[in-house]
Amino acid sequence: MKNSRKTENNRFETAYAHLTKRQRRIIMKHYDYLLYLDYLLDTLNGEEKEAVQDYRAKVVTHIAALCEKWEAHNALTKKGILKK
């Protein structure tokens, strides 16, 4: 589990570098929520822990999708293809 979190952190840091300040604030709110879910994983057992793990995976997927979407949008804006 620790290695997958390290991989997630590396992915977020790479995508995070290409975002605007507003986008970074939104991602940080999501990331803070992930830290809370990590805390819950450490304190829960059984079915509750599995439910939190499933939900955490959905949050990670959502953050990755946001980063990819914004990264592509920012690249197109930078090239002048899209307007701000």
Q: One-letter amino acid identity for 33?
A: Y
Give the pLDDT confidence score for residue 1 in this predicted structure.
Answer: 53
Give the pLDDT confidence score for residue 3 in this predicted structure.
Answer: 66
Beta carbons of 38 and 55 less than 8 angstroms apart: no
Q: Mean pLDDT of successive 10-residue segments in the chain (84 residues)?
A: 67 74 89 92 93 93 89 85 75
pTM: 0.72
Beta carbons of 59 and 29 less than 8 angstroms apart: no
**CA–CA separation, 11 and 18 (whole Å):** 12
DSSP letter assigned to residue 75: H
Give the pLDDT confidence score for residue 47 in this predicted structure.
Answer: 94
Give the pLDDT confidence score for residue 18 in this predicted structure.
Answer: 75
Q: Is 3 left (phi over 0), alpha (psi -120 to 50) or beta?
A: alpha
